[in-house]
Structure 1
Amino acid sequence: MGIILIFVIGAAMLALFNWLMGYGKGYIQIDFEERFFKEKEHIEAIKLELENQGKEVHYQGNGHFKIDDRPYSFIERIVSMGGVPMQRTILKPIKK
């Protein structure tokens, strides 16, 4: 019984971590070398990075992008990697 409980808790923690980090089907994750404190600069960096990857990007305002004619919502996460805070950009697909 105890082993099953440990397995279930471990699987739930792994699923939560994956959800928080943006590892879902269709999600786009971008980790930048620098940290952006102004939203406008962060959005411009996202557009530039995705255009360098060959994607067609339009910012629609209010944290919404249109990437290759599909809508995405912008999520920012600050995570600690080895004690150093890292800014992760997650673009979550918006289901129609």
Structure 2
Amino acid sequence: MMLLYTLIAFVFALFFLNWLLGYKKGNITLTLDDRYTGLKEYAEAIEIELKKEGKQAVYKGGRKFLVDGKLYEFSDRTVPIGGVPTQQTILEPK
């Protein structure tokens, strides 16, 4: 019985962690090669990455992008990937 509870807690933790990291339905999640602190350079890097993925992307200002005709707002988080702090970009539909 304890094994069942442990398994349920583990599965719940995985789903919660994915949700917390921005992997929700409709979100676009990017992990860029470099870390950006300036908004202008960061937005340019996001736009380039989206275009590499074959999407039509235009930065509209104010942390908002028009991606394939839909409006998204981006935020970023620092997450450890392989023990290395990595900047992760999440675009959420608005």
Pairwise TM-score range, normalised by the shorter structure: 0.7 to 0.9
What's the CA shift for 1:35?
Answer: 0.8
What's the CA shift for 1:6?
Answer: 1.7
Distance 1:84 1:52 in 2: 25
What's the CA shift for 1:64?
Answer: 1.7
How many residues align? The count is 94
Q: Does 1:93 align with 2:85?
A: no
SS in 2 for 1:55: coil
Tell me the residue number matched to 1:9. 9
Tell me the residue number matched to 1:21. 21
Give 5+ residue unaligned stretches, structure 2. none
Tell me the residue number matched to 2:66. 66
Per-residue CA distance 1:20-74 (angstroms, 9 max, x = gap): 2222222212111111111211111001111233322122222221101111120
What's the CA shift for 1:78?
Answer: 0.6
**What is the RMSD computed on CA atoms of the aligned residues?**
1.7
User: Structure 1 vs Structure 2: percent identity of aligned residues?
Assistant: 39
Tell me the residue number matched to 2:32. 32
Tell me the residue number matched to 2:84. 84
Give 5+ residue unaligned stretches, structure 1. none
